[in-house]
Structure 1
Amino acid sequence: MTRSSLSHTPFLITFLVVLLPVLTLTVGGGSALFYLLIVACLCMVATTPATHWMQQLRPYRWLLLVLCLPLAAVLLSQLLNAHWEGPSIERGLRISLGFPCLLAGFLLIDRQRLRHFIWGPITAGIAATAIVCYLAGPTLQRPPTPQFNAVGYGNLMLLMAVLSIYSLSWQCTRHPRAERAFKIAAAALTCVGFVLTQTRTGWMAIPVFAIIGIALAGWLHRPMRALAALLGIGLIALAVGASNPALRERVTQGAQEIHECLTVAPTADTSMCIRLQLWNSAWHMFKSAPWSGTGDRSSFKDMLQQGVAAGRVSPFVARDFGEPHNDFLQALATLGVAGGIALLALYFAPAWLFLRRLRRNVPQTQRVAAAMGLAVCLSFAIFGLTELMFRGMRTVSLYVAFIALFTALSAPSPDQADDLAPK
């Protein structure tokens, strides 16, 4: 590789980061692109003196260590069960090795250049909305979305819209007013697509997104203004949700299904009751092997078959479902206590870093990145309550790339290092 080609590596890395959410939400390929992004970052690191990039990574030793927990939990569970499952190990490797490789590369790139990644979520949101509108058709039926089911797809669309809104404080072009108008329009359009997916899970994250946005605006120290903003966002969300009759019907139907499942029909084949059956089965699976888990995701189907005999699961659920629609219960069932701790660390260790960097005395450009990182961490934790967000490699890759990216973009400058470095 020539010196001339290496000089274009920062541009290549930025382009790949832009492309990652677009491919993830449209044609697929985000998983393979993740490896290409790692290779590009390693090329960037290889052309930099080791003392420099190691110095950049040194403040993150604790975070790098914590993010090795998912891989350690997988290896421990599979060792105790004497069963090796390649995909689970690969997920752990993408986190424990992928994160430091990406972070090292991102920290070496000019931040103004790297902020152009935002065109990726914006483009992904617009493209996903176009797909949803096409699949929903003139009757606006719930779309059979590609790449993900409608729940995961809608959740990621909402996240892309939120990232677009948070980026309003960044100026990436020479036309700030036009840029802001475009970002707002793209976010609004993506929210329309999210509503059309008729996803209920994403609405649970809206209060969290709103609080982060209020903190980003610096209004938390003005309680009345913060409360008014929170109420305003809540009313807008309520009005938007109520404007879709199908979504209103799904919310009402969901409440009825939960009541019926808990009272008269515990094995009914309804949307919410199926989830309750899956969660109950995952909990029984965890209790049967709390320290080692099963070490194998495929064993969940066998447990469901046993649940049919015990009257906990309907034959339909045992036949057509192979995971609990809950990331935390999935981690507990397959990896035991260590898996649950590792997943919580994956959510909340970087979230704590971003929360500290959202303080008022931090430059606004860095606070924007911190708000984005916090939104990604907390939204995945919320989305994972009713959907297996980490079902596929592509969402694992997207999550790891995002937390590495926002860690780099929110990193303190040398004169801030003593105050804001991770502790």
Structure 2
Amino acid sequence: MTPSSLPRASLLITVLVALLPMLTLTVGWGSGLFYLLAFVCLCLILTAPAPHWLQQLHPYRWLMLALCLPLAAVLLSQALNGHLEGPGIERGLRVALGFPCLLAGFLLIDRDRLRHFVWGVLAAGIGSTAIVCYLAGPTLERPPTPQFNAVGYGNLMLLMTVLTLYSLGWQLTRHPRAERALKLAVAAITCLGFVLTQTRTGWMAIPVFAAIGIALAGWLHRPMRALAALLGIGLVALAIGASSPALRERVAQGVQEIHECVTVAPTADTSMCIRLQLWGAAWHTIKQSPWSGIDGESTFSDKLRQLAATGQVSSFVARDFGEPHNDFLLALATNGVPGGIALLILYFAPAGLLACRLRRNVPQAQRVAAAMGLAVCLGFAVFGVTELMFRGMRTVSLYVTLIALFTALSAPGREQTTASTPR
């Protein structure tokens, strides 16, 4: 790698990273773009001196090893069940190999330029909101969103809103006021699109995002101010949600559906009762095979049909649903306890590293990146309680790319590494 080629590589990788969220939420090309980005990073690594990029990766050896556990859990489950399934292995490989490859590439390029990926987040917010508004129509009905169902789509839109708000801590242009106004406007527009999806469960992540924002603002050492800010954000979120009659109706309907499902109609084909049936089926499966799992989503569909024959789930659930609408329960059901542990590590291993980088003595630009990465890790953990966020390869690719990106952008600078050990 020559000094003249590094700026071009930095620009190319930044453009590809910026395109990833935008294409994932619009035309669905995120999976292919992930491979292209990984290939470019690999080419950059191969042209760089080995001692240089190996030294860059050295502080993350334990994190990279931990992120190999999802692949190990899949391989163990498949070995115990004597069945080979490609999609599970591919998901594991995207994490185990994709993360170190992307991280090494991101660590080699110019950090100031890489921060400009944020424009892709803004574009993803505007593009997805335009799609939602078009599909909702003048009657503002719940949109049949492309690429993802409305729940997953709304969750990702909320995440784009949060990343846009956190990016206010970065100044990327020579016009700070205009840049700030643009980011605030895009955040408001994307939040509106999220509300139009009528997604109920995404709201559970707002307290988490608010707490991260308060930590980013440096208010944790002032408990009263932090509490007031948290309450204020909660009231604003409540007001925004209450402003949508359709969302209010869906929330009330959800409460009624849960009550009816628990009391009088345990196999009713309503939105919330379907989830309860799927969770019950997953728990039944976990108890049958706690360590080996049943190996694969297709096998879980077979389990649902067996449970439908005994009246434990409805025939509609057995016919039209092949997963439990919960990432953790699916990991436990398909890959056993090792799979559940591996998924928790996928969330919380990078989250622990990024949370440490939110300390007040870390430079602001790096703290912003740490807050963004923490929002991705914890956001996916919360979203995964009521939706299968890792349903497709596109979302796995987006998650892996973002945690590698924010790990690199929050890494200690050269001026810090001589004074302290890498965090």
TM-score grouping bracket, smaller chain normalisation: over 0.9
Once the 2 structures are TM-superposed, how far is the Cα of residue 6 of structure 1 from its aligned partner? 6.5
Aligned to 2:384: 384
Aligned to 1:51: 51
Give me the whole-angstrom Cα distance separating, in 2, the residues matched to 1:152 and 1:246. 18
1:421 aligned onto 2:408: no
Letter in 1 for 2:178: A
Give me the whole-angstrom Cα distance separating, in 1, the residues matched to 2:202 and 2:107. 31
Aligned to 2:229: 229
Aligned to 2:403: 403
Aligned to 2:285: 285
Give me the whole-angstrom Cα distance separating, in 2, the residues matched to 1:406 and 1:382. 19
Give me the whole-angstrom Cα distance separating, in 2, the residues matched to 1:170 and 1:78. 45
1:112 aligned onto 2:112: yes
Once the 2 structures are TM-superposed, how far is the Cα of residue 421 of structure 1 from its aligned partner? 2.1
Contact 1:356 1:420 in 2 (8 A): no
Contact 1:9 1:43 in 2 (8 A): no
After superposition, the Cα gap between the structure-2 partners of 1:177 and 1:6, relative to the gap in structure 1 and judged at 3 Å, is closer
After superposition, the Cα gap between the structure-2 partners of 1:8 and 1:225, relative to the gap in structure 1 and judged at 3 Å, is same
Once the 2 structures are TM-superposed, how far is the Cα of residue 309 of structure 1 from its aligned partner? 2.4
Once the 2 structures are TM-superposed, how far is the Cα of residue 3 of structure 1 from its aligned partner? 8.8
The superposition leaves residues 267-306 of structure 1 with CA deviations (integer Å, 9 ceiling, x where unpaired) of: 0100000000001101111111111111121011111111
Q: How does 1:81-100 map to 2 (within 5 A)?
A: 81-100=81-100
The superposition leaves residues 222-241 of structure 1 with CA deviations (integer Å, 9 ceiling, x where unpaired) of: 11111111111111101110
Give me the whole-angstrom Cα distance separating, in 2, the residues matched to 1:7 and 1:143. 42
Aligned to 1:66: 66
Letter in 2 for 1:293: G
Give me the whole-angstrom Cα distance separating, in 2, the residues matched to 1:213 and 1:7. 32
Letter in 2 for 1:322: G
The superposition leaves residues 64-103 of structure 1 with CA deviations (integer Å, 9 ceiling, x where unpaired) of: 0000000000110001111101111000000000000000
Query: What secondary structure does 1:8 align onto?
Result: helix
Letter in 2 for 1:408: A
Letter in 2 for 1:238: L
Query: What secondary structure does 2:151 align onto?
Result: helix
Q: How does 1:18-417 map to 2 (within 5 A)?
A: 18-417=18-417
Once the 2 structures are TM-superposed, how far is the Cα of residue 310 of structure 1 from its aligned partner? 2.5
Query: What secondary structure does 1:382 align onto?
Result: helix
Letter in 1 for 2:162: V
Instruction: Indicate the percent of aligned positions where both proteins have the same amino acid.
Output: 77
After superposition, the Cα gap between the structure-2 partners of 1:222 and 1:306, relative to the gap in structure 1 and judged at 3 Å, is same
Letter in 2 for 1:212: I
Give me the whole-angstrom Cα distance separating, in 2, the residues matched to 1:278 and 1:252. 21
Give me the whole-angstrom Cα distance separating, in 2, the residues matched to 1:246 and 1:105. 45
Once the 2 structures are TM-superposed, how far is the Cα of residue 416 of structure 1 from its aligned partner? 2.9
Over the residues paired in the alignment, what is the CA RMSD in angstroms?
1.3
Give me the whole-angstrom Cα distance separating, in 2, the residues matched to 1:87 and 1:74. 10
After superposition, the Cα gap between the structure-2 partners of 1:142 and 1:186, relative to the gap in structure 1 and judged at 3 Å, is same
Once the 2 structures are TM-superposed, how far is the Cα of residue 415 of structure 1 from its aligned partner? 4.2
**How many pairs are equivalent?**
422
Give the alignment's TM-score, normalised by structure 2: 0.98
Which runs of 5 or more residues in structure 2 are unaligned? none
Once the 2 structures are TM-superposed, how far is the Cα of residue 43 of structure 1 from its aligned partner? 1.3
The superposition leaves residues 142-178 of structure 1 with CA deviations (integer Å, 9 ceiling, x where unpaired) of: 0000000000000000000100000001011111110
Which runs of 5 or more residues in structure 1 are unaligned? none
Give me the whole-angstrom Cα distance separating, in 2, the residues matched to 1:49 and 1:26. 38
Once the 2 structures are TM-superposed, how far is the Cα of residue 263 of structure 1 from its aligned partner? 1.0
The superposition leaves residues 121-146 of structure 1 with CA deviations (integer Å, 9 ceiling, x where unpaired) of: 11101100000000000000000000
Query: What secondary structure does 2:260 align onto?
Result: helix
Give me the whole-angstrom Cα distance separating, in 1, the residues matched to 2:159 and 2:166. 11
Contact 2:7 2:110 in 1 (8 A): no
Give the alignment's TM-score, normalised by structure 1: 0.98
Letter in 2 for 1:421: P
Give me the whole-angstrom Cα distance separating, in 2, the residues matched to 1:135 and 1:349. 38
Give me the whole-angstrom Cα distance separating, in 1, the residues matched to 2:185 and 2:6. 37
